[in-house]
Amino acid sequence: MDRSAGTGARALLRGRLVVHPTDTLYALAARALDRRAVARLVVAKGRPGGRPLSVAVSSVEELERWAELDRAARSFARDELPGAYTLLLRPTPEARARLAPEVAGGPTIGLRVPDHPLAQELARRAGPIVATSANRSGEPSPRSLADCRQALRGAGALFLDEPPRPRGVPSTIVDLTGPRPRTVPRR
């Protein structure tokens, strides 16, 4: 895994897109601090404008750099992460200033700590990273690296595959901006 993580992190730091497994699905990733790379990711996915992208970080502690967590949100994050949740939180001033607008341009930011060693290591070495399913927008989620290669043909992405394989189910989105956690349906 160290070799894949090193290769993937170097690619992300150079502005390339990287496809890698997570605990949930295969992800298409770009460095969230690199606005050009995030723009390339949006084009590669054929994603409509105005739909926010989520960010993967390497640890629960790193969440606080990019999002405001009250006691309830902090408790939820410590109890459930790493894991198959995307947390909707209010972005910090640093997030608004430094992250691509497709990530932190709205009232909330979606953050994940994936429960996959390669995904965590990529986020630690090159993060934070935008991580969205490795398919074209509106198409079925990829079930294999071959599906990812077919869907993202011509995107110039680096493809990495390390066990364990994704479960094949998207993360659960939980809004933590209110008085209690609220599950949000996917669009």
Host H or E run for residue 66 = helix 60-66
Q: Are 56 and 113 in contact (CB under 8 A)?
A: yes
Please give the Cα distance from 19 to 132 (Å, whole number): 10
- The Cβ-side half-sphere exposure at 119, using a 13 Å CA radius, reads 31
CATH of the domain at 103: 3.90.870.10
Residue given tokens 């869907």 in the structure block? 151
- The Cβ-side half-sphere exposure at 120, using a 13 Å CA radius, reads 17
Please give the Cα distance from 12 to 167 (Å, whole number): 24
Amino acid 49: pLDDT: 77
Amino acid 48: pLDDT: 84
Amino acid 1: pLDDT: 75
Residue given tokens 């309830």 in the structure block? 72
Amino acid 50: pLDDT: 78
- Which among 121, 139, 123 is positioned nearest to 131, based on CA atoms? 123
Domain that holds residue 147: 2-184
Amino acid 60: pLDDT: 96
Q: pLDDT tens track of the chain, all 187 residues? A: 789 999 999 999 999 999 999 999 999 999 999 999 999 999 999 998 778 999 999 999 999 999 999 999 999 999 999 999 999 999 999 999 999 999 998 999 999 999 999 999 999 999 899 999 999 999 999 999 999 999 999 999 999 999 999 999 999 999 999 999 999 998 7
Q: Under 8 Å CB-to-CB from 99, ≥6 apart: which residues?
A: 32, 33, 55, 66, 91, 109, 128
Please give the Cα distance from 147 to 153 (Å, whole number): 10
The total number of structural domains that make up the chain: 1
Amino acid 137: pLDDT: 93
Amino acid 139: pLDDT: 94
**What is the pTM for the complete model shown?**
0.95
Amino acid 6: pLDDT: 96
